[in-house]
Homo-oligomer: A and B are copies of this chain.
Amino acid sequence: MPQRKENSVSFENEQALETDCPFIFALSLMGKRWKPAILWKMTEGIHRFGEMKRAIPPISEKMLTQHLRELETDGLITRTIYPEMPPRVEYALTNLGLSLQPILEQLNTWGEKAKKTKAKK
């Protein structure tokens, strides 16, 4: 879904970095654009497309769909369709997604500290 040309230098660089550094691989899964916000909201108990759209105001439907799909194929969330009318689709964190939570919290705390440090200057 990230529409890369497979022979571009950027593509090759990214491959190389992700291959020999699990940390960069981790960031490629959860560190992109709206993904942190989505994961955050999910830990707060938000599970449906429409709810997320309202909870993360400036996100567009396109971006929300795209990121949810990627999180799904990367094994961080699951997607369950309930064949009702109007349709209902629910997203839930997998064990892998859940195991990220404590790290998210720590980075959050670090971010607060960094913000203060920066503000002082």
Contact = CB atoms under 8 A, between A and B. Distances in A.
Interface residues of A, number: 40
A36 B121 CA distance: 24
Instruction: Tell me what chain A mostly uses at the interface: helix, strand, loop, or mixed.
Output: helix
Interface string A8-19: 010011001100
Contacts of A110: 22, 26, 99-100, 103
Interface string A22-36: 111111010100101
6 nearest interchain CB pairs?
A: A22-B111, A26-B111, A23-B108, A22-B112, A25-B111, A31-B31
Given A27-B111, A96-B114, A103-B103, 11 more contacts: A12-B58, A17-B34, A21-B40, A23-B107, A23-B111, A24-B36, A25-B114, A26-B107, A26-B114, A75-B117, A100-B110
Interface of A: 9, 12-13, 16-17, 21-27, 29, 31, 34, 36-37, 40, 57-58, 74-75, 96, 99-100, 103-104, 106-115, 117-118, 121
